[in-house]
């Protein structure tokens, strides 16, 4: 087993070195894409791992945070990074409210009800924003987004590495929270066995509420960072919901560091295909083929064991 | 006795539905087609759900059926009506082949894999420019039955009747016992000698065939499709919502849900041109929160409590 | 028994709902016979359709305030097509059979139009289309569709117009020289059609060398342009054109700057621009293709009237050319009905064909044949440039509001 893992690591390192020499951009842009994927998927993974809900309104929370950031920054003339904390607090409060008013009421119902409930929430949120803000996109422009580095002939943007940093911080932070704090340990216990946790005296409902609030706070933070690189419009979050869901499934439920790994794998593979001219249109397919492969591979391995 | 009346009423309703074009205009028929399409998709999705498997691949098979039918007519010169049969069979065969792989997965992993397969279908169609028309889609030489509103309605109704029939068969035959056993406890079902994989495969193939058929009917009725239309995620999520709002694990539930959501969507659109989708989302939220068992579940509960109180009074003749 | 009853309830619900729809129409049809009805479908959830339908209503109100059409009041019934082919088709069925409108207008996406064509062919209702650029729509219509009046240019009209425009610009301003052209296009129907049209029309003679690559638009969850910009940079084009959605506008510029990709002409062709795009420092001197911009107010009193009316009525600026286009459609329709003296199909077609309307687009609209259909309205687009936060018209020269700034400033 240990040998096998060593071999895998060596192959992975070799592949990265070869890629760096042949097409450095594949690694650079692959990591940048991975950072973005992971930062948005991790909060969903947290909710799915502990509350066991697939939140189809996940991207919509990010969209709301992005709009909140936009309005705050436009009216006060501040940078989104300054707005990050207040927006996270507001989004978290909204997320907690949504949890209390809707999701909590459906927790005893079958899983599918919760899924469709969040689907309905997603529609209602997107369309309300569309009504007030129209579908016209809004974008603020910041000089630092175009920061770049030259290495020989190659010039590339470095700003998106911010997302890699946030992803790593999130993984470490959540790990510390879940293993070192009392509340975090309780959350982990609830995630593994809610009934058992209730028996030993953990307030399951409170734990769910706080996990939902933490996850939406993280989504809110990322919404603020997201707007620095991307335009905001009512449907901006929707595609990320599905991508996040796929990434979480690929990592395996409850495996938060795994989400980062899955994102890196996907980001690099996508950019690998994009490096070939004729294959460019097919880069989307990698995502889904990899997901199926990983899920099937794990299911076969699981059956053997 | 009871069964006979029930059959008679069902037959009566079927006759009324067949006769709709006699007293309804082109527009209501058009709305009815849309409702019936979603209804058939919701029922077929529910048929697989009875085994506990949650498919997110409705849009994939719907789109696959659409394209199989459209391309059979365009590239193969097939008769439009025949192409619907072809598309249904094609979707079924695809499901049969894929079933050997995906039906080994359970719960969320099954759902995600069906979703991923749907996306893969879409991307393939999207990228095969010369064969499939690429992102801009395909335009058929004409609409089936020369676009006659009544004929199109009957075609869609035919698809719906086949779906209801299949669902009814699933409810009444030993499929029902097998699927329910798998849903409730797979291990004990297996130890009781249920060939789990066989029944899952049958259910998967039949429901995929139905979904492919509805896709083909849709494309032949509008004479046009493109990847974003054929593989629209709404073809997955709306039938799910409809089945759930109506009440799952039955034929009647998804039907009720489809009428509720389908008709209210159209009605809201006319009443609130700007922002009708907000109300639509809120309806879904409210129904889920206040009728967790769906419309049918609620009606059933209400009639049960009614009967119980009747029994207490000693007035029941049963 | 219970089940059968439940089915009965469902069916009754459905039928009564449909019947209600029918009754509405009957009542309306029996009501004031003096009203002339226009029926329009737009995607109301999208800014194009939202503002298009608003501007159409503005025109209707203006016409009614001025006494209507030969004493008849004009009424506009708008239905959301939700950017879906089946919804669009169903909306037309309702407008024609239930509301019994005298004429149809509106439209935006080609994907919806293709679904609506079978309905249109069934009723041969006169339709003044404000959208649908894809040549596939024209092919589906065929040469017999003389009731179809297409106000929006076809994709190949636009391509030809750009080729003409760039030739004229290079002639007038010799410092601008274009040999190599790169098109970055979003991978959906819109971008792919733009690329195909550009390849055909610019590649006709050997004057230009063309290359292109697709990208996933930020509007659909993409927004990573590194691969396509790398290909563009390696190609070293004189003119870099991107065909995507408004969400791509600024991120593309930002990433271009990060990659130090700096073509002489940086040209965008989205259907609209983000709010406050002009406020960004990167936006200055970006060129664009378009049909209308507020700067046309300076040269066209009709445009000014439209613009001021829109702002006064709705309190916002028109942000898309679908607003003046739909506004024009109502005026063209009203004018034709007035001249025809009736809403009879044949008379209406004849009157519409003779349209000569000084539009807010800064040009006169007439209907002439295009490749297949007989009644094509606007055939050209304009080449504009963002200068100091404003879209200035560069070409056609008779509608120009400014001179081009060239080359695009180095980062």
Question: What's the pLDDT at B247?
Answer: 92
Backbone angles phi, psi at C349, to 5 degrees: -60, -45
Contact B136 C192 (CB under 8 A): yes
Distance from CA of C10 to the nearest CA of B (A): 6
Contact A136 C258 (CB under 8 A): no
B279 in C contact zone (CB under 8 Å) = no
Q: Which of B232, B236, B288 to mutate: most A Cβ within 10 Å?
A: B288
In this structure, the strands spanning C127-129 and C148-150 are: parallel
Give the span between the Cα atoms of A140 and A302, in whole angstroms: 48
- Tell me: the pLDDT tens digits for C207-241? 899 999 999 999 998 888 988 999 999 999 999 99
- Tell me: the pLDDT tens digits for A262-272? 999 999 988 88
Q: Which residues of B touch C96 (CB under 8 A)?
A: 26
- Does a structural domain hold residue C129? yes
A134 in B contact zone (CB under 8 Å) = no
Question: What's the pLDDT at A302?
Answer: 74
- Residues C138, C99, single domain; the answer is yes
Give the span between the Cα atoms of C185 and C193, in whole angstroms: 9
Closest Cα in chain B to A102: B289
Check whether C30 has a pLDDT greater than 60.
no
Consecutive H or E run containing C4: helix C2-30
Helix (H, G, I), strand (E, B) or coil at B106: coil
- Tell me: the pLDDT tens digits for C318-338? 999 999 999 999 999 999 999
Give the span between the Cα atoms of A232 and A237, in whole angstroms: 9
- Residues C255, C392, single domain; the answer is yes
Question: What's the pLDDT at A282?
Answer: 84
Question: What's the pLDDT at B305?
Answer: 79
Q: What is the mean pLDDT of residues B226-252?
A: 92
Question: What's the pLDDT at B41?
Answer: 97
Give the span between the Cα atoms of C224 and C217, in whole angstroms: 8
- Tell me: the pLDDT tens digits for A169-215? 999 999 999 999 999 999 999 999 999 999 999 999 999 999 999 99
Question: What's the pLDDT at B226?
Answer: 94
Q: Supply the mean pLDDT for chain A.
A: 90
Question: What's the pLDDT at B315?
Answer: 40
pLDDT band, residue B318 (cuts 50/70/90): very low
From the list C397, C370, C363, the residue with the least C-alpha distance to C383 is: C397
- Tell me: the pLDDT tens digits for C240-251? 999 999 999 999
Backbone angles phi, psi at B142, to 5 degrees: -170, 175
Closest Cα in chain C to A240: C221
- Residues C113, C221, single domain; the answer is no
pLDDT band, residue A16 (cuts 50/70/90): confident
CB atoms near residue C152 (< 10 Å): 25
- Residues C149, C209, single domain; the answer is no
- Residues C43, C188, single domain; the answer is no
* CB contact set of A277 (below 8 Å; sequence gap of 6+): C213, C231
From the list B77, B183, B67, B55, the residue with the least C-alpha distance to B124 is: B67
pLDDT band, residue B88 (cuts 50/70/90): very high
Structure tokens belonging to residue C188: 């959906």
Q: Which residues of A touch B186 (CB under 8 A)?
A: none
Question: What's the pLDDT at C409?
Answer: 81
- Does a structural domain hold residue C189? yes
Q: What is the mean pLDDT of residues B251-273?
A: 93
User: Percent of chain A having pLDDT more than 90?
Assistant: 63
Burial class (CB in 10 A: 0-12, 13-18, 19+), A249: buried
Q: Which residues of C touch B223 (CB under 8 A)?
A: 114-115, 117-118, 140
Contact A231 C246 (CB under 8 A): yes
pLDDT band, residue C94 (cuts 50/70/90): very high
Consecutive H or E run containing C19: helix C2-30
- Tell me: the pLDDT tens digits for A112-132? 899 899 999 999 999 999 999
- Weakest mean pLDDT among A12-26, B114-128, B233-247: A12-26
- Tell me: the pLDDT tens digits for A73-93? 999 999 999 999 999 999 999
Q: What is the mean pLDDT of residues C40-66?
A: 96
pLDDT band, residue C202 (cuts 50/70/90): confident
- Residues C273, C387, single domain; the answer is yes
Contact A288 B104 (CB under 8 A): no
Bigger pLDDT: C18 or B93?
A: B93
pLDDT band, residue C24 (cuts 50/70/90): very low
Q: Which residues of A touch B288 (CB under 8 A)?
A: 106, 109, 113, 116-117, 120
A255 in B contact zone (CB under 8 Å) = no
- Does a structural domain hold residue C27? no
Structure tokens belonging to residue C7: 């089915």
The 3 state secondary structure assigned to chain C is CHHHHHHHHHHHHHHHHHHHHHHHHHHHHHCCCCCEEEEEEECCCCHHHHHHHHHHHHHHHHHHHCCCECCECEEEEEEECCCCHHHHHHHHHHHHHHCCCCEEEECCCHHHHHHHHHHHHHHCCCEEECCCCCHHHHHHHCCCCCCEEECCCCHHHHHHHHHHHHHHHHHHCCCCCCCEEEEEEECCHHHHHHHHHHHHHHCCCCCCEEEEEEECCHHHCCCCCHHHHHHHHHHCCCEEEEECCHHHHHHHHHHHHHCCCCCCEEEECCCECCECHHHCHHHCCCEEEECCCHHHHHCCHHHHHHHHHHHHHHCCCCCECHHHHHHHHHHHHHHHHHHHCCCCHHHHHHHHHCCCEECCCCCEECCECCCCCCCECCCCCEEEEEECCEEEEEECHHHCCCCCCCCCCCC
Do A292 and B113 meet the contact criterion of CB atoms below 8 Å apart?
yes
Q: What is the mean pLDDT of residues B289-302?
A: 88
- Residues C58, C148, single domain; the answer is yes
**What subunits touch chain C, counting only 3 or more CB pairs under 8 A?**
A, B
Q: Chain B window 35-54: which residues touch A at a Cβ cutoff of 8 Å?
A: 54
pLDDT band, residue B307 (cuts 50/70/90): low
Closest Cα in chain B to A252: B109
DSSP A220-254: HHHHHHHHHHS-B-TTSSHHHHHHHHHHHHHH-TT
Question: What's the pLDDT at C7?
Answer: 57
* CB contact set of C372 (below 8 Å; sequence gap of 6+): C138, C139, C141, C142, C143
Consecutive H or E run containing A180: helix A161-180
Question: What's the pLDDT at C204?
Answer: 73
Question: What's the pLDDT at B2?
Answer: 60
- Tell me: the pLDDT tens digits for B179-200? 999 999 989 999 988 899 999 9
Structure tokens belonging to residue A280: 């460019």
Distance from CA of A111 to the nearest CA of C (A): 26
Q: What is the mean pLDDT of residues A239-256?
A: 90
Distance from CA of A228 to the nearest CA of B (A): 28
Q: What is the mean pLDDT of residues C133-143?
A: 93
Q: Which residues of C touch B226 (CB under 8 A)?
A: 111, 114, 189
- Residues C281, C393, single domain; the answer is yes
- Does a structural domain hold residue C15? no
DSSP structure class, residue C97: I
- Weakest mean pLDDT among B268-282, B294-308, C26-40: C26-40
The residue assigned the tokens 């009647």 is B252
Question: What's the pLDDT at B182?
Answer: 92
Rounded (10°) CA dihedral B8, B10, B16, B18:
-110
Give the number of A-B residue pairs with CB atoms closer than 8 Å.
Answer: 115
* CB contact set of C380 (below 8 Å; sequence gap of 6+): C153, C157, C158, C161, C164, C165, C363, C396
Give the span between the Cα atoms of C26 and C101, in whole angstroms: 12
B272 in C contact zone (CB under 8 Å) = no
Question: What's the pLDDT at A254?
Answer: 87
Q: Which residues of C touch B28 (CB under 8 A)?
A: 18-19, 21-22
- Residues C249, C346, single domain; the answer is no
Give the span between the Cα atoms of B158 and B161, in whole angstroms: 5
Check whether A56 has a pLDDT greater than 60.
yes
Q: What is this structure's pTM? A: 0.92
- Residues C208, C166, single domain; the answer is yes
Check whether B296 has a pLDDT greater than 90.
no
Q: What is the mean pLDDT of residues B95-103?
A: 94
pLDDT band, residue B43 (cuts 50/70/90): very high
- Residues C253, C312, single domain; the answer is no
- Weakest mean pLDDT among B117-126, B293-302, C284-293, C313-322: B293-302
Give the span between the Cα atoms of A216 and C332, in whole angstroms: 51
Residue C316 sits in a domain whose CATH number is 3.40.50.2300
Long-range contacts of A11-14 (CB under 8 A, 24+ apart): none
Do C157 and C165 meet the contact criterion of CB atoms below 8 Å apart?
no
Check whether C32 has a pLDDT greater than 70.
no
Give the span between the Cα atoms of A63 and A129, in whole angstroms: 9
- Weakest mean pLDDT among A4-18, A196-210, B244-258, C76-90: A4-18
pLDDT band, residue A108 (cuts 50/70/90): confident
Do A117 and B245 meet the contact criterion of CB atoms below 8 Å apart?
no
Domain interval for residue C43: 32-153+299-365
Domains of chain A plus CATH, in order, are: 26-304 (1.10.3470)
Give the span between the Cα atoms of A287 and A272, in whole angstroms: 12
CB atoms near residue A158 (< 10 Å): 14
Q: What is the mean pLDDT of residues C281-285?
A: 91
Indicate the length of chain A as a whole number.
305
- Tell me: the pLDDT tens digits for C148-185? 999 999 999 998 999 999 999 999 999 999 999 999 99
From the list C164, C218, C187, C228, the residue with the least C-alpha distance to C395 is: C164
Bigger pLDDT: C76 or C25?
A: C76
Closest Cα in chain A to B277: A127
Q: Supply the mean pLDDT for chain B.
A: 91
- Does a structural domain hold residue C243? yes
- Tell me: the pLDDT tens digits for C285-323? 999 999 999 999 999 999 999 999 999 999 999 999 999
Give the span between the Cα atoms of B242 and B38, in whole angstroms: 8
Give the span between the Cα atoms of C55 and C325, in whole angstroms: 9
Contact C259 A231 (CB under 8 A): no
- Does a structural domain hold residue C376? no
Closest Cα in chain A to B114: A292
ipTM, two decimals: 0.90
Total domain count, chain C: 2
pLDDT band, residue C2 (cuts 50/70/90): low
C346 in B contact zone (CB under 8 Å) = no
- Residues C211, C66, single domain; the answer is no
- Tell me: the pLDDT tens digits for A130-174? 999 999 999 988 889 989 888 887 888 999 999 999 999 999 999
């Amino acid at each position: 087993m240990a040998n096998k893992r060593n071999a895998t690591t060596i192959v992975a390192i070799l592949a990265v070195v070869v890629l760096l020499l042949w097409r450095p951009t594949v690694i650079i842009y692959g990591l940048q894409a991975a950072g973005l994927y992971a930062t948005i998927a991790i909060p969903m993974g947290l909710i799915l791992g502990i509350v066991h809900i697939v939140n189809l309104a996940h991207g919509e929370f990010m969209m709301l945070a992005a709009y909140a950031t936009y309005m705050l920054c436009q009216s006060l003339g501040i940078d989104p990074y300054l707005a990050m904390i207040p927006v996270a607090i507001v989004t978290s409060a909204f997320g907690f409210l949504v949890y209390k008013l809707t999701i909590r009421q459906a927790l005893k119902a079958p899983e599918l009800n919760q899924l469709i409930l969040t689907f309905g929430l997603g529609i209602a949120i997107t369309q309300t924003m569309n009504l007030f803000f129209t579908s016209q996109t809004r974008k603020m422009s910041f000089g630092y987004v175009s920061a770049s580095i030259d290495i020989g002939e190659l010039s590339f943007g470095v700003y998106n590495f911010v997302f890699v940093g946030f992803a790593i911080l999130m993984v470490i932070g959540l790990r510390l929270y879940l293993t070192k704090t009392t509340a975090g340990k309780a959350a982990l216990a609830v995630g593994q066995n809610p009934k058992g946790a209730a028996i030993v005296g953990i307030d399951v409902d409170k734990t769910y509420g706080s996990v939902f609030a933490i996850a939406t706070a993280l989504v809110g933070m990322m919404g603020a960072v997201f707007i620095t690189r991307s335009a905001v419009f009512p449907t901006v979050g929707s595609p990320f919901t599905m991508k996040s869901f796929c990434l979480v499934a690929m990592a395996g439920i409850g495996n938060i560091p795994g989400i980062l790994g899955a994102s890196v794998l996907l980001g690099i593979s996508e950019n690998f295909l994009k490096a070939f001219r004729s294959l460019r249109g097919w880069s989307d397919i990698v995502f889904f083929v990899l997901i199926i492969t990983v899920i099937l591979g794990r299911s076969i391995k699981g059956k053997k064991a | 006795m009871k069964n006979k009346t029930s059959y008679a009423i069902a037959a009566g309703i079927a006759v009324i539905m067949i006769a709709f074009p006699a007293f309804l205009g082109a527009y209501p028929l058009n709305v009815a087609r849309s409702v019936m399409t979603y209804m058939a998709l919701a029922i077929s999705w529910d048929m697989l759900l009875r085994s506990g498997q949650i498919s997110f691949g409705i849009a994939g098979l719907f789109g696959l059926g659409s394209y199989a039918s459209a391309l059979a007519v365009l590239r193969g010169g097939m008769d439009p009506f025949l192409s619907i049969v072809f598309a249904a069979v094609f979707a079924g065969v695809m499901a049969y082949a894929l079933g050997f792989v995906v039906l080994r997965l359970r719960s969320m992993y099954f759902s995600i894999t069906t979703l991923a397969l749907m996306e893969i279908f879409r991307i393939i169609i999207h990228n095969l420019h010369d064969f499939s028309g690429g992102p801009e889609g395909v335009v058929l030489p004409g609409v089936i039955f020369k676009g006659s509103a009544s004929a199109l309605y009957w075609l869609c109704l035919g698809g719906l009747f086949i779906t209801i029939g299949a669902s009814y068969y699933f409810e009444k035959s030993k499929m029902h016992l097998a699927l329910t056993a798998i849903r409730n406890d797979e291990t004990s079902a297996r130890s009781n000698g249920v060939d789990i994989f066989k029944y899952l495969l049958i259910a998967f193939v039949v429901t995929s065939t139905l979904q492919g058929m509805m896709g083909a009917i849709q494309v032949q009725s509008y004479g046009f499709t493109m990847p974003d239309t054929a593989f629209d995620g709404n073809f997955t999520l709306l039938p799910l919502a409809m089945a759930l709002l109506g009440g799952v694990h039955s034929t009647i539930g998804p039907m009720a849900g489809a009428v509720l959501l389908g008709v209210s969507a159209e009605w809201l659109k006319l009443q609130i041109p700007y922002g009708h989708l907000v109300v639509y989302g809120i309806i879904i939220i409210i129904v889920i929160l206040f009728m967790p068992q769906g419309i049918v579940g609620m009606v059933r509960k209400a009639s049960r409590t009614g009967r119980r109180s009747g029994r207490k009074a000693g007035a029941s003749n049963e | 028994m219970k089940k059968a009853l439940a089915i009965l309830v469902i069916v009754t619900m459905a039928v009564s709902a449909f019947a209600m729809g029918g009754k509405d129409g009957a009542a309306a049809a029996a009501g004031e016979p003096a009203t002339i009805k226009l029926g329009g479908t737009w995607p109301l959830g999208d800014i194009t359709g939202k503002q298009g339908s608003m501007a159409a209503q503005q025109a209707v109100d203006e016409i009614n305030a001025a006494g209507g059409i030969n004493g008849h009041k004009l009424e506009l019934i708008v239905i959301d097509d939700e950017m879906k082919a089946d919804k669009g088709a169903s909306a037309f069925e309702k407008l024609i059979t239930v509301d019994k409108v005298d004429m149809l207008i509106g439209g935006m996406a080609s994907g919806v139009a293709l679904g609506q064509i079978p309905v249109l062919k069934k009723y041969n209702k006169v339709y003044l289309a404000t959208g649908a650029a894809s040549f596939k729509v024209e092919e589906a219509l065929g040469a017999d569709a003389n009731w179809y009046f297409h106000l929006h240019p076809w994709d190949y009209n636009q391509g030809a117009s750009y080729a003409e425009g760039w030739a004229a610009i290079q002639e007038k301003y010799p410092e601008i020289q274009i040999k190599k052209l790169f098109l970055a296009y979003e991978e959906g129907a819109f971008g792919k059609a733009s690329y195909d049209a550009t390849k055909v029309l610019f590649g006709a003679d050997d004057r230009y060398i063309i290359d292109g690559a697709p990208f996933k638009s930020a509007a659909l969850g993409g927004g990573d342009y590194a691969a396509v910009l790398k290909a563009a940079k390696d190609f070293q084009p004189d003119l870099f054109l991107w065909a995507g959605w408004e969400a791509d506008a600024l991120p593309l510029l930002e990433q271009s700057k990060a990659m130090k990709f700096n073509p002489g002409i940086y040209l965008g062709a989205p259907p609209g621009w983000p709010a406050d795009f002009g406020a960004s420092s990167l936006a200055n001197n970006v060129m664009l293709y378009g049909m209308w911009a507020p700067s046309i107010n300076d040269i066209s009193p009709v445009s000014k009237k439209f613009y001021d009316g829109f702002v006064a009525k709705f309190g916002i600026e028109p942000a898309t050319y679908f607003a003046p286009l739909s506004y024009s459609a109502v005026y063209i329709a009203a004018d034709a009905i007035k001249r025809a003296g009736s809403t009879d199909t044949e008379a209406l077609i004849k009157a519409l064909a003779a349209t000569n309307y000084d539009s807010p687009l800064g040009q006169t609209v007439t209907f002439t044949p295009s490749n297949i259909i007989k009644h094509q309205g606007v055939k050209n687009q304009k080449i504009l440039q963002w200068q100091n936060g404003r879209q200035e018209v560069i070409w056609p020269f008779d509608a120009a509001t400014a001179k081009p700034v060239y080359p695009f400033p180095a980062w």
